[in-house]
Structure 1
């Protein structure tokens, strides 16, 4: 496999090179990615002010597979759907919809997902998606930034002690496992493609 191919995100191997076909494929991926984010958000376990879901795994996987630009387009499209009132978030519509929900207890985490996507997508654009150790390290940094943003916003709403207890501590181990899974799956797919 050439160096140019190895230093691109995984999805670039399946995209047409240019023209309307490439744009259509990218649009399809953005829509499919936003659906995956919605499904992962709805798979949840209640832990207090912020519920646990598979969304972190989905965000990491999309960023590592799509790269920064397409990953950010997917996340922003997902957030736009939520802002318009579609029930795409974890606890919507039962805990609210639209911007009111986005400014609630999960607001910092939603913003953190965008930054997480940018960090992991940047690494994927440089070919780090092929190396599980580099990818895992990048995902840990991205997850720490996302948790910090979620904590900071939640602390404004419910106080720092409560935010730490309910918004960070319960998520550390599950997020480590999700990062390890995502950092294993993407390089494994690269390895399969490389053999072909």
Structure 2
């Protein structure tokens, strides 16, 4: 029986081997990741009746570049920043801040981002970030899990029919485009690094 080997994700190229320098670099990368997440949440693309943020794309790229542990830590740090009232989410501060906002209509999606980071980060740790088809499969799975979590939470709040109509359908095309884009970008970076 074959055992899956762990490979190093993109970010490992910048990490010192061990010690305090490694931890400091990881903390710096996590903070940069949360900044990217906040900026992507505030960047809106208008596609039809809803504004779509670039946040899903940011989560996918962070997870595939950081690997499982650092990606999940980055997403948890991002959620902690939001829970403490920092306006890092798409609808903050206009629609509230902190835990109250997180328990609102986007709560399931926010939790889903952590699951998304875990799935894609796990795949990156196994070298799938070097293969566009494998990475696309992992990212699509992560997208479905995140949307399912968002749908389930929203269905509790507004019912399953409205949750499907307003919380899933308007985002399908845009999110598929973001998955395809992310699944193409990361292997392209690996290919460029191999040439260099």
Question: TM-score band (shorter)?
Answer: over 0.9
For 1:46 and 1:108, the matched residues in 2 are separated by: 22
8 Å Cα contact 2:67/2:121 also seen in 1: yes
8 Å Cα contact 1:48/1:166 also seen in 2: no
8 Å Cα contact 1:115/1:142 also seen in 2: yes
Q: For 1:1-196, what aligned pairs fall within 5 Å after superposition?
A: 7-45=7-45, 51-196=51-196
8 Å Cα contact 1:49/1:105 also seen in 2: no
Query: Alpha-carbon deviation of 1:44?
Result: 2.3
User: Quick one: structure 1 residues 41 and 149, their matched pair in 2 at CA, closer, same or farther if it must change by over 3 Å?
Assistant: same
3-state secondary structure, aligned to 1:166: helix
Structure 2: gaps of 5 or more residues: none
Could you list the runs of 4 or more consecutive aligned residues of structure 1 that deviate by over 4 angstroms after TM superposition?
45-51
Q: How many equivalent residue pairs?
A: 192
Query: Alpha-carbon deviation of 1:19?
Result: 1.4
8 Å Cα contact 1:60/1:117 also seen in 2: yes
Structure 1: gaps of 5 or more residues: none
TM-score after normalising by structure 2 = 0.93
For 1:121 and 1:167, the matched residues in 2 are separated by: 25
3-state secondary structure, aligned to 2:94: coil
Query: Alpha-carbon deviation of 1:13?
Result: 1.3
User: Quick one: structure 1 residues 50 and 96, their matched pair in 2 at CA, closer, same or farther if it must change by over 3 Å?
Assistant: farther
Describe the superposition over 1:122-157 as per-residue Cα deviations: whole angstroms up to 9, x where unpaired: 000001000000000100000000000000000111
User: Quick one: structure 1 residues 74 and 17, their matched pair in 2 at CA, closer, same or farther if it must change by over 3 Å?
Assistant: same
For 1:51 and 1:104, the matched residues in 2 are separated by: 18
- Out of 14-23 and 43-52, give the one that drifted further: 43-52
TM-score after normalising by structure 1 = 0.93
| Aligned alpha-carbon RMSD (Å) | 1.9
Describe the superposition over 1:105-126 as per-residue Cα deviations: whole angstroms up to 9, x where unpaired: 0000000000000000000000
For 1:112 and 1:179, the matched residues in 2 are separated by: 15
